[in-house]
Structures are given as C-alpha cells and as structure tokens.
Amino acid sequence: MKPEESKEECQAYFGLPPKVVYCKKCVESNQRMLGSVQHKDTPTTKKRTVLFDDEGVCLACRYYEKKKMIDWEERERELRDLLNRHRRKDGYYDVLVPGSGGKDSAYVAHMLKYKYGMNPLTVTWAPHIYTEIGWKNFQAWIHTGFDNVLFTPNGKVHRKLTGLAFENLLHPFQPFVIGQYNLAPKIALEKGIKLIFFGDSYAERGFGGDVKWDGPCMDPKLFTREQKDEIFLGGVPIKDLSQYGINMKELNPYLPAEADRLLSSGIEFHVMPYYMNYDPQKNFYYAIEHTGFSVNPDGRTPGTYSKYASLDDKVDDFHYYTWFIKTGRGRCTEDASIEIRNNHITREEGVSLVRRFDGEFPERHFKDFLEYIGITKEKFWDIIDRYRSPHLWEKIHGEWKLKFRVS
C-alpha cells in the first residue's frame, strides 16, 4: 500500500507539510508536530514534524524496529551504573521524577525506588481542572511511598494564559506544557538533586533532524533560554503580557532556569525508554498492580478507544481536540500508532479505530472548559474554524470535512 498523499498543494498553517502522507506501517501522518508552535503561519522547519524515510515509513516505526536489536540487559547495566553513580548514602533524594501519577510517571518512580533502591522526589505541575479520577490516581501514587512537590500556579494568571493560548494559538495546553517542562530543572536546582528521569522520549515519537533524540539523555540547553524577551506565552511576548493584567513577577513559574546556573550544576536529564523496553500498555498494567492506578470510570476517553491515558485534567480533552483541528490527526492516531508499533493491534485495526474515533468532540467537559477560559460556545467555534488549515479541511454542504483520511 502506498502512503496516501494529497493530490494538490494548498496553503498549510503551522509550518506543516502541504502534502499529507501516512506511514505504511502505522497510522501516523507527517502532520504530527513537535512542541508548541506559535502562529498559524509559522515557517516550515524540518525538525518540527515527524520524519519519514524514502520508503514512506515514519522514523518512530523505524526506531521500534531498531529496538528489537537492542541488548536490553546491557542497557539495564548502563542504568544500574548511572544510578549507582548518583545514589546517596545520607538518605537525601538522589533522583527527581516529574509526573502526575499517570501510568508512565508511576511506573518510572516505582521502578526507581522499589527495584533499584533509589530515593526519588516526585514533582507535579497541577492540572488546570482536576478530574475526580486524576486526583484519585495522584493520591494513590503518593500513598504507595513517594514524597511529592505539587506546584499549583496562580489560578488567575493560568486561566488568562490558557485563554490567550486558545485564541492566539489554538493550543490551550501551552502554558501548562511550558510550566511543567520548566518546573523539574528548577526544583532539582533548588533541592540539589543531580539526576532527573523522564518517562518519555522523542525517539519513540519519530522526531529527528539536527538533534540526536535516541540517546540516554537530553541536552540541558533544551531547558534554558538566554533571552527572556524571546519567550512567548499564550502567543504573546512576555514583555507585552502587562496589557492583559499580568506582571513579570507573576510569570516566574513559566520561565526556564537561568542558563549559567543550570549548565554549571551538573544535573543530568535522562529518559527511561532508552534503558527499558518501554510499552505504555505494560506500564498501565504495572501501575494498576503497584501504585493503585485506576482507569477512566466513564469507559473510553473521547476521541480514542483507550481508557488509561491523560485522565487527570478536564482541559486535556481540548488539547487533543484542537490538535486534531490543526493537524487532522487526533488522540486515536497517537494511541493506535503506539500500539501498532508494540504489536498489540494490526495496522488494519488501527485504521478502523482512527476512522471511528479520531476527532470525536469531547462534550463531557465542554461547559467546564468554556467557563474556565471565559468564552461563549459561539466564540469557541469561531476560533476553532479560524485554525482549520486549507490543506486539510474543506466545507461541504455547510459542514467541515477532512480532505484526507488514513486508509
């Protein structure tokens, strides 16, 4: 089967490739973006989207093929050597694990403490609006034996930034992502912890370019910024946020660590998928058994078929829905692609699931989301429609339709 491609090139927003290509092995498309883009006319940059090889296979699938050749026993020896180098004998924290108590952070923290004898400090950036199951899982995680720093940003500022991010970027999760990303290094500096472990890796997502993503650690420079004026929050330069009633002192939680201080600290940023043959489904079963993790009581999550990922925040649903509007690929594409690579489902099953669930509207928390960012339903849809890229969407008989679907 040849990868499906668009037959004509239209204007593409967000720096996305104007031709839509689907992977031959999974259901991923070349519209998958890395990180937070700014405005819809962002120039194209190679490292911003999933890369494909000459055979039409995404680099995430190629990475999973490579994983079959890895000597995981040797990788575990590397892990033990790393942990022994950082292990403390005075009872103080020797590793920091960012997370919310979801399946991945629960797995990483529990393994480090109970299998490898480390003393982790867990760190959490609070959700916008906790769900009942999210709070329950967070508490269950902590009560299985972990100290935790729970950071909750200024609610007034966070709501305003989230609203700006939705209107200016169609990315309501951007302030959360930036705050969460920058929190761990700053807490590590504050607590004098020299090792941070993340439960995710860019290599597993298929990104490449001029950065080497498949190594054991991340470059500390990724967590710094020399010039604060270069930082945008909610699509607004931070120096201009005073126009929205936000002063610079209130933005400290979102700002990265000082470059000189972080780069001279000796802190190492490692990713657990390098050391262990990572599988989100197996992490889910591990978290159920060891950390009291519970699945979505409502059944599957809107927009996908799974019931165990991204459960803790009512805004989560709108992160994935806006992602779908901008890129034509949603939560189900993400879940199915990972499960195809891990041989839990076939590509044919993945295609069927994506065509059934991708882009489903998350009605369950719609009222809460509108109230949180302070807009009407009419304004919500007006903003949504402004961000439909012409290369992906067309209006037929008054209804918006995707031009291309995975097949």
CA 103 to chain centre: 14
d(CA 195, CA 213): 18
* Phi, psi for 291 (deg, rounded to 5): -125, 15
Q: Mind listing the pLDDT tens digit for each residue in 133-182?
A: 999 999 999 999 999 999 999 999 999 999 999 999 999 999 999 999 99
Token pair listed for 73? 């026993």
What residue has token string 């945008």? 232
Cβ-contact 187, 123 below 8 angstroms: yes
| Cα(275)–Cα(384) distance, integer angstroms | 40
pLDDT score at 48? 66
Instruction: Give me the residues of the chain with pLDDT under 70, please.
Output: 1-9, 34-48, 201-214, 226-229
pTM strictly above 0.85? yes
Q: How far apart are CA 76 and CA 78, in angstroms?
A: 5
φ, ψ dihedrals at 116, nearest 5°: -110, 0
pLDDT at 200: 79
Domains and CATH numbers, the chain: 72-275 (3.40.50.620)
pLDDT at 51: 86
Reduced to 3 states (helix: H, G, I; strand: E, B; else coil), residue 235 is: coil
Q: At 72, which amino acid appears?
A: W
| Token pair for 101 | 């108590």
Mean pLDDT of the chain, nearest integer: 90
Q: How are beta strands 236-237 and 232-233 bridged, if at all?
A: antiparallel
Output the pLDDT for position 35.
56
